[in-house]
Amino acid sequence: MNILAIGAHFDDIELGCSGSLARHVRQGDQVTMYVATKSGFRSPGREQIRSNEQALAEGNAAAELIGAKVICGGFETLQLEFEDNLNGQLVSLIEKEKIDLIYTHYKDDVHHDHAALARASLHAGRHVPRLLCYHSNYYQSDVQFTANFFVDITDTWQTKEAVIRAHKSEFERVGDQWIRYFKREAENYGLAIGAELAEGFRCVKWLVG
């Protein structure tokens, strides 16, 4: 199977679905990670938190741990919009890689880039038979993310933790908050499905056949 994971920034995919992607790789599937933005950003006071070069290097290191290839869309951080350039990149990639399954952002995520990219993913992936949405942060929206599709990542949690830690510039900023949050989430999803650890998704469509 050909898998496409779509993320707005380097680290989104890793937080939202890297355990599942690692499982796909172990099963022999081909995994492509498309990251729309260069992902460097500054604080409101204009202090540089992460450079574009840092983000790319860390993203490549994380993808190598998963066993996936990375494509960067080259858009500016915090400037993603649902428009033709973004949609065209996604459509071309989906057609070129003959994608069977898409993982992407949740459309009601409070982050502007995440929501815009989710909308573009739904549009570009309208002919792809399987599409799952992930949640890559712990911020609440007025439309709550509710998982209705689960993947057992008991055997790939260590990979997920390693790829999160590969984003050293972000990890230094947030400490172990990401690890603690997503580990507890995986434990809770695991309890819901009878596994030790799991990732949860919002299923948009899943064609059986």
Is the predicted pLDDT of residue 40 greater than 90, yes or no? no
Q: Which domains does the chain have, with CATH numbers?
A: 2-206 (3.40.50.10320)
Question: What percent of the chain has pLDDT above 70?
Answer: 98
Quote the mean pLDDT of the chain.
95
Torsion angle, alpha carbons of 78, 30, 97, 203, to 10: -60
For range 155-169, the mean pLDDT = 95
**85 pLDDT higher than 70:** yes
Cβ proximity of 35 and 73 under 8 Å: yes
- pLDDT of 127 reads 97
33: β partners? 5, 70
- Pair 36, 86: CB distance under 8 Å: yes
Contact indicator for 104, 134 with CB cutoff of 8 Å = yes
First to last CA, the chain: 14
Q: Taking 90 as the threshold, does the pLDDT of residue 89 lie above it?
A: yes
Characterise 173 by phi-psi region: left (phi > 0), alpha (psi -120 to 50), beta (else). Answer: alpha
**What's residue 164's pLDDT?**
95
The three-state (H, E, C) secondary structure of 76-109, written as one string: CCCCCCCCHHHHHHHHHHHHHHCCCEEEEECCCC
Q: What is the pLDDT of residues 135-154, one digit of tens each?
A: 999 888 899 999 999 999 99
Say whether 163 sits in a helix, a strand or coil: helix
